[in-house]
Structure 1
Amino acid sequence: MYTNISFTCECGSVVEHMAFYPVFVADTEKEREEYQETELETECDRCGRPYQVLVKNNFYDVEIIVDNGEIRVEHTEPQYEESELDLLLPKESSQIVLFREQLNTVQLLVSAKVEEKAQYGLHVMLYSHLVASAEGYLYSTFTKFVTQHDSLLRKLVETDPEFSKQKFSLSDIFVSRETLKDTIDKYLKDLIFHNMKKTKEMYLSVLGFDFGHIPWFFRAVNLRHHCVHRGGYDKDGNSLNINSDVILSLMNHLSDLIEAIEVRVKDFDDEGNKRVTYR
Structure 2
Amino acid sequence: MGSVKEAYLESEEDRQENLADALGISWDELSQLDYTLTENISNEGLLYGYVITFSSNCNAEILSRIAGISKTRTISLSPWIFERSYEDQYALGAITQNIDHRESFSNEMIASTRILNLKIEDYSIRQLLLRQTFISIIGALETFLSDTFISKTLSSKHYLQQFVRTNPEFKQQKISISEIYDVSEKIKERAKTIMVNTIYHKLPTIREMYAGTFSIDFPDISNLQKYILIRHDLVHRNGKTTDGRLVNINDKLIEELRTNAVTFVEELTNKLGRNFDDDLPF
Check the 8 A contact 1:150/1:272 in 2, yes or no: no
Q: Please give the secondary structure, in 1, of the residue aligned with 2:169.
A: helix
Q: Please give the secondary structure, in 2, of the residue aligned with 1:192.
A: coil
Q: Please give the secondary structure, in 2, of the residue aligned with 1:166.
A: coil
Q: Please give the secondary structure, in 2, of the residue aligned with 1:266.
A: helix
* Matched residue type, 2:102: I
Q: Give 1:162's match in structure 2, choosing from 166, 169, 175.
A: 169
Check the 8 A contact 1:99/1:134 in 2, yes or no: yes
Question: How far apart in 2 are the matches of 1:172 and 1:94?
Answer: 39
The aligned residue for residue 247 of structure 1 is 254
* Matched residue type, 2:243: D
Q: Please give the secondary structure, in 1, of the residue aligned with 2:224.
A: helix
The aligned residue for residue 209 of structure 1 is 216
The aligned residue for residue 11 of structure 1 is none
Please say if 1:105 is aligned against 2:111. Answer: yes
* Matched residue type, 2:281: N
Question: How far apart in 1 are the matches of 2:175 and 2:152?
Answer: 26
Query: Residues 1-279 of structure 1 correspond to what in structure 2 (within 5 A)?
Result: 93-114=99-120, 115-267=122-274, 268-269=276-277, 271-274=279-282
Aligned Cα root-mean-square deviation (Å): 1.8
Q: Deviations over 1:200-253 (max 9, x none)?
A: 111122223323432221111111111111222223332113211110111011
TM-score by length of 1: 0.61
Q: Please give the secondary structure, in 1, of the residue aligned with 2:179.
A: helix
Q: Deviations over 1:179-207 (max 9, x none)?
A: 21111111101111111111011112222
Tell me: CA distance 1:210–1:147, structure 2 relative to 1, closer, same or farther (3 Å).
Answer: same
* Matched residue type, 1:233: K
Check the 8 A contact 2:137/2:258 in 1, yes or no: yes
* Matched residue type, 1:109: I
> Which stretches in structure 1 are left out of the alignment for 5+ residues?
1-91, 275-279
Structure of higher CA gyration radius: 1
Question: How far apart in 2 are the matches of 1:93 and 1:252?
Answer: 24
* Matched residue type, 1:235: T
Bigger RCO (CA 8 Å, 6+ sep): 2
Question: How far apart in 1 are the matches of 2:106 and 2:216?
Answer: 20
Check the 8 A contact 1:149/1:270 in 2, yes or no: no
Check the 8 A contact 1:211/1:257 in 2, yes or no: no
Tell me: CA distance 1:127–1:263, structure 2 relative to 1, closer, same or farther (3 Å).
Answer: same
* Structure with more strand by fraction: 1
Runs of 4+ in 1 over 6 A off after TM superposition: none
Tell me: CA distance 1:224–1:272, structure 2 relative to 1, closer, same or farther (3 Å).
Answer: farther
> Which stretches in structure 2 are left out of the alignment for 5+ residues?
1-97
Check the 8 A contact 1:146/1:153 in 2, yes or no: yes
Count of equivalent residues: 183
| Structure 1 residue 272 displacement after superposition | 4.0
| Structure 1 residue 269 displacement after superposition | 4.3
| Structure 1 residue 177 displacement after superposition | 1.3
* Matched residue type, 2:162: K
Q: Please give the secondary structure, in 2, of the residue aligned with 1:167.
A: coil
